Structure 1
Amino acid sequence: MLDIPSRVRVHVEPLLAAQIDMGVCDAIEQYAPVRKPDTMNAPHPPKVAGIDSTVPLPAHTVAPTPAAPGVPPATSPAPADPGALLQDRLAGWVSDLTTLHELTERLARTDSLPTALEELLHAGAALVGARRGLVVVEPSDGLGPDSMTGLGLARADLGHIETVPRSSMPYGRILDGLPGGEREIAQPDLLSEDGLDPRHREVAARLGYAASYTLPLATEKAGRLGAAVWLYDEPAEPAERQRHLAGLYIRYAAEHVARMVEMERTRTCMTTISEELLPTRLPRVPGVQLAARHRSGPRGGGDWYDALPLPDAALGLAVGSVTGSGPSAVAAMGRLRASLRAYAVMEGEDPVAVLSDLELLLRLTEPARSATALFAYCEPSLRKLTLAGAGHSPPLVIGPRRTEFVETSLSAPLGMLACWEAPSVEMTAGAGETVLFYTDGLLQRTGDPVDRAFARLHAAAASVPRPLRGDPGAVADHVLRTVLPDGLDRTDSAEDVVLLAARFE
C-alpha cells in the first residue's frame, strides 16, 4: 500500500507489478518518468515510497484565445492540485498493471501452441486497438514448428498475404533478420507509402486494411521465434501508451510461446517414435480385412497393436498397454511388442504360452513395470479365433445379428503375479462380422465409470450404419467418433487409444 499524506491514498497490488517483472516504483518510473519542476516555482510534497511526487504542470499545446475588445480578460483557472494529478496518474498505472495481469493470466492458462497464439492475437488486438491480425511462428533454429495463425482472417486471406514477397512484409523482415527487423515496425498509412511493393498494395486493398503494427516474438534463450502483426482498417498507429503496454505483454508472451514450441516439438517427436514402433502397414491375408487406429497422448504412451502372418495361413492379432507414459513407456512398448512377435512365430497356436513367455520376460527385465495384453491366434479360412488375455478388456463382435463382448477368462496383468497363466477361449465369427480389439485408453478418455464406458462402447458399436459394416476402417472410425464425440479422440489426453478391427468374409 502506498501511503500519501493529506488527500491521496492509493492501494497498489505488488503482484500486479511482479507479473511483468518489475516493482511498482520501477513501473511508475519506466512508464511515465516525471521531470522535476523549478524549485522556485513548484511546491515540494513529501516523497512517498521512494517516488518523487512532484508533478509537472501540463504543457500548453494551443495558444490562448485573445479576448474580444471591451471584454475583460477571463480569470485564469486555479492551478491543479498536484496531489489530485498524482492520484489520477497512479490510478491509470494501476489500471494498466491490472489489465496486463489479467491478459498474462489468460495466456498462462493455455496449454498448446495454437490456443496460445489465438490468445496472443486477441490480447494484442485489444491493447493496440486493432480488429484483425496474424502471428507467424518460424523459430530461427529451423527445427519448427512453422505456422501462421489469423485473427479475423480466413484461410484464403492468409493465402493472399503469403503471395506478397516476404521481404516487403514486416514479419518477413523480422523473421529473415533484415535491417529494422529487430524492433517494432509501424506502417501507419500503407497505401501512401513510397516504394510499397505493388503486390502488397494489391493485397492490402483486397483485404481492406490500411495500416499495420508488427512486433517481434523473441526471447534471450530461444532467439527469434516469430512475429505478430495487427491490421487496421483505416490509417492509424498505436499511441505511445498502447505501444508500451503491448511491448510488456509481448515480452511475457514470447516466453510462453517458447515453452509451447518446446512442448510441440516434444509431442511431435514422441508421436513419431510411437508410430515408427507400430506396424507401418497391416498384412493382407485371404479371408480377413484389417484396419487400425492409433491416437497418442502428448507425452507418448505405451498402447500398441500388432498383426502378423503366421505359418499355415494363420494370423496373429495382438493389442496391449504398458503402464506409464513418456519415453520410457514408449521404449518398453517397443521391446514388448518385438518380443511378442518372436514368441508368436514360435508358438502362436497356443496364446497362453505366448503370454506366459512374455510375462517371464517382463518380470526378469523390467520388474517395476506391468502391462496388459491380448493375443489371438486366428484361422481366417475357418473364421476361428483362439484368445488369451492378461488383464485386458474383452474384444467386441459387431455383426448384422449381434453386437456382444467376447467372454474371456479373468486374469491379472503381466508382471503382477509370480507366474502368469490363464486358460484360453475359442470363438467363431460369422461371415461379415467384425471383431474389434481396443485398449483401455478408449474407455478412460470418456471420463465415465467403467460400466458406463463399456455401455457407451457397446451402444456405439451397435449403431454402426449397415453400409459401413463392410469396411473395418469405417467401423473403427464410427466407434471412435461415437465413444469420443466432439473431437475428443484427437484432443490431448494422457491416455493412448488403439483400435484394431478384423472383418471376416
Structure 2
Amino acid sequence: MARYERVLANVADGIYGLDRDGRVEFVNPAAERITGRPAAEQLGRDQHDLLHGARQDGSPYPREECPVWQALASGRTVSADAEVFWHADGTAVPVELIAVPTVEDGEVTGVVVSFRDLTDRLAALRQAEELRRLAEQNAAQRALSDRLQQALLTPPPEPDHLHVAVRYRPAADGAQVGGDWYDAFLQPDGATVLVIGDVVGHGSDAAAAMGQLRGLLRALAYDEEQPPSATLARAERTALGLAVSTLATVVLARIERHPDVPVAGTRVLRWSNAGHLPPLLLDPDGTSRLLATRPELVLGVDPHARRTDATADVRDGQTLLLYTDGLVERRDSDLDAGLAALQDALRDLGRVPLEELCDTLLSRMVPEPGADDVALVAVRAYPEDRPRPPEAGPNRLPPGVP
C-alpha cells in the first residue's frame, strides 16, 4: 500500500477516486496543484459541482453529459480530450481525462479519474500555429516582392560593340527580399545608361519603393541628356515632391563615345555615386581598379545635396562592373576585405566571355544564397572597327534607336 501511495504522490497527472455518487474519496498532490484546492477542501465533496459544473464558456454542464458520470452510469471506461476543470481562482484549466469505473461483485462502486493539464501543450500548439501563420504570411509577401522585383529587372539592351550582362540573385528563402535593382537602357543619342541601386529596408515596402525610384530615374535619364549628377539631383527633388519617401544608394552611369571621334578604341564612362559601392574596371589581364570617388549622400536625405560627376576611359576589352552589397559584404568581415576578395575573384576572368564571367563570379563570391540580394551589371567594350564578336550575341536595341 505504501508503494502505491508513493506512486500516487509523485505522478504528474492528477488522480481522483470518487464513490458511486461522485463524491471525492481520495485526491493526489498533482490534482491539488492543478486545481489549486487542498485535499481537505475536496474530500467528501461532489467533484462535478466543485470542479466541472460549467463549460469553458461558463454555461452549465449537465451532469448526465459529463464523461465521469457517464462512466459511473455505464460501467464502461470513458475518455475525453477537451474538458475543463475550474481552478480555485476561477480560471479554466483545459484537461484531458480518462474515467475508469471500479466494479465489485458486478456493481459499480465508484470511479478513478486520471487527468492531465493541457495548458502548456495548448499554448505550444497556439504558438506553433502562430509561427506557421507568420511563415505563410512572410512567404506570400516574399513571393509578391519577388514577382514585383523580377518584373522590373528587364533584359538589358545590346548596343553595337558593347556587351551588357545582368544578374540578380535573391536572398535565401528565410530572408526577406531587399530593394536591390539594376537598369540598363539607351538614350536617344545612343549613349548607354547604367544604374545599380539598393533601397534601404526589406520586404514588399522596399520592393515597391525600389520600383518607384527605378521608374523615376529611368524616365528622367531618358528624357534629358544631362550629366548623371544632374539626373540624380533632379530625381531626388522629384521624389520629394511626389512623396516617394525612401533612402537608397545609387550609381548612375553613362557610357559615351568620345566627341567627334567615331572609332577611338576608348569610350568615356561618366558617373555619379550616391553613397553606393564603387564601380570596378577590369582589364583583360585580370588587374582591376575600384573607381572610388569622394563619398556623397544617399538619395532621400537632402534634396539640395551637392552631387558631382566622375569620368574614366573604358578601353576595348575592359569590363565594367556595377554591383550591390550582397556581393561583397559579410557579417564576419569588413567591406575592405570584401572588395579585396572581389578583385581577387576576378584575376583570371579578364578574358573570359562576359556571361561566363558573371556566373563564375557569383559562384565564387556567393556560393550559396545569403542574407541579402545581389544585383550585378557587367559591360564589356569591343573594338568598333571590326564586327561584334559571336560571344557577345546579337544586337538588341529598342525601336527607333540608331
On whether the aligned pair clears a TM of 0.5, the verdict is yes
TM-score (norm 1): 0.49
Structure 2 equivalent of residue 413 of structure 1: 298
**Aligned counterpart, 2:358:** 476
2:31 aligned residue: 50
Compute the displacement of 1:498 (Å): 0.9
Give yes or no for contact 1:375–1:389 (8 Å, CA) kept in 2. Answer: yes
Letter in 2 for 1:387: W
- In structure 2, the partner of 1:293 is 167
Residue aligned with 1:502, SS: strand
Letter in 2 for 1:311: P
Corresponding residue to 1:389 among 249, 262, 273: 273
Kept after mapping to 2: 8 A contact 1:303/1:321 = yes
Distance in 2 (alpha carbons) for counterparts of 1:462 and 1:271: 33
CA distance in 2, matches of 1:332, 1:255: 29
| Structure 2 residue 349 is matched with structure 1 residue 464 | yes
Work out which structure has the larger RCO, using CA pairs closer than 8 Å and 6 or more positions apart in sequence: 2
Q: How many Å separate the matches in 1 of 2:347 and 2:300? A: 35
CA distance in structure 2 between the partners assigned to 1:351 and 1:255 by the alignment = 48
Relative distance call for 1:256 and 1:353 in structure 2 (3 A) is: closer
Question: Paired residue for 2:220?
Answer: 343
- The one-character-per-residue Cα deviations of 1:265-294 (angstroms, maximum 9, x if unpaired) are 222121111111222x21121111111111
Corresponding residue of 1:276:
151
Letter matched to residue 147 of structure 2: T
Matches of 1:477 and 1:37, distance apart in 2: 79
Partner of 1:265: 140
* Aligned residue number for residue 241 of structure 2: 364
Amino acid at match of 1:48: P
Tell me the alpha carbon deviations over residues 13-54 of structure 1, each in whole angstroms, 9 at most, x when there is no partner: xxxxxxxxxxxxxxx47xxx9998999xxxx765323279xx
Q: What is the alpha-carbon distance in structure 2 between the residues aligned to residue 464 and residue 399 of structure 1?
A: 9
Whether the 8 Å CA contact 2:199–2:210 is kept in 1: the answer is yes
Q: SS in structure 2 opposite 1:274?
A: helix
Shift in Å, 1:7? 7.3
> TM-score under structure 2 normalisation?
0.60
Aligned match of 1:189: none
Separation in 2, partners of 1:284, 1:293: 15
Report deviation, 1:418. Answer: 4.8
1:314 pairs with one of 191, 197, 221:
191
Are the aligned partners of 1:400 and 1:433 in contact in 2 as well (CA < 8 Å)?
Answer: yes
AA in 1 matched with 2:168: H
Would you tell me which structure has more strand in proportion to its own residues? 2
In structure 2, the residue matched to 1:448 is 333
SS in 1 for 2:317: coil
- Take 2:241 and 2:125, find their aligned partners in 1: how far apart are those partners? 53
Deviations 1:157-206 (A, max 9, x none): xxxxxxxxxxxxxxxxxxxxxxxxxxxxxxxxxxxxxxxxxxxxxxxxxx
Higher helix share: 1
Q: Which residue of 2 aligns with 1:376?
A: 253
Q: After alignment, is 410-419 or 306-315 more displaced? A: 410-419
Identity between Structure 1 and Structure 2 (%) = 29
Q: Distance in 2 between matches of 1:462 and 1:454?
A: 13
More displaced stretch, 268-277 vs 375-384: 375-384
Pick closer, same or farther for the CA change 1:483–1:11 going to 2, 3 Å.
farther
Max Rg structure: 2
User: Is the Cα–Cα contact under 8 Å of residues 322 and 378 in structure 2 kept in the other structure?
Assistant: yes
**Post-superposition shift, 1:374?**
0.8
Q: CA deviation at 1:446?
A: 5.4
- The code of the aligned residue for 1:294 comes to Y
The residue correspondences of 1:217-236 to structure 2 (distance < 5 A) are: none
What corresponds to 2:400 in structure 1? none
| SS of corresponding position for 1:345 | helix
Q: CA deviation at 1:9?
A: 5.7
Whether contact under 8 Å (2:184, 2:195) holds in the other structure is yes
1:424 shift after superposition: 1.2
AA paired with 1:424? D
Distance 1:259 1:356, change over 3 A: closer
Q: Which amino acid aligns with 1:450?
A: L
Question: What's the offset of the Cα at 1:366?
Answer: 4.0
State the secondary structure of the residue aligned to 2:30. coil
User: 1:433 Cα deviation (Å)?
Assistant: 1.6
Give 1:397 shift. Answer: 1.3
**Alignment RMSD, CA only?**
3.6
Which runs of structure 2 are paired with 1:188-267 in the superposition (5 Å)?
257=132, 259-267=134-142
What is the Cα deviation at residue 375 of structure 1? 1.0
Q: Classify the secondary structure of the residue corresponding to 2:353.
A: coil
8 A Cα contact 1:294 1:497, kept in partner: yes
Q: How many equivalent pairs are there?
A: 280
Residue ranges of structure 1 left out of the alignment (5+ in a row): 13-27, 53-246
Closer, same or farther in 2 for the Cα pair 1:434/1:347, shift >3 Å?
same
Shift of residue 367 of structure 1? 7.5
1:72-111 matched pairs, under 5 angstroms: none
What does residue 72 of structure 2 align with?
Answer: none
Contact 1:434 1:502 in 2 (8 A): yes
Aligned partner (choices 437, 442, 454) of residue 322 of structure 2: 437
List per-residue Cα deviations over 1:414-473 (Å, max 9, x = no partner): 22235123321111122222101011232334542122122122212224375xx222x2
| 4+ long deviations beyond 6 Å | 33-39, 247-255
Where does the alignment leave 5 or more consecutive residues of structure 2 unmatched? 34-120, 258-262, 383-402
The residue number in structure 2 matching 1:499 is 376
- Classify 1:259/1:352 alpha carbon distance in 2 versus 1 (closer, same or farther; 3 Å): closer
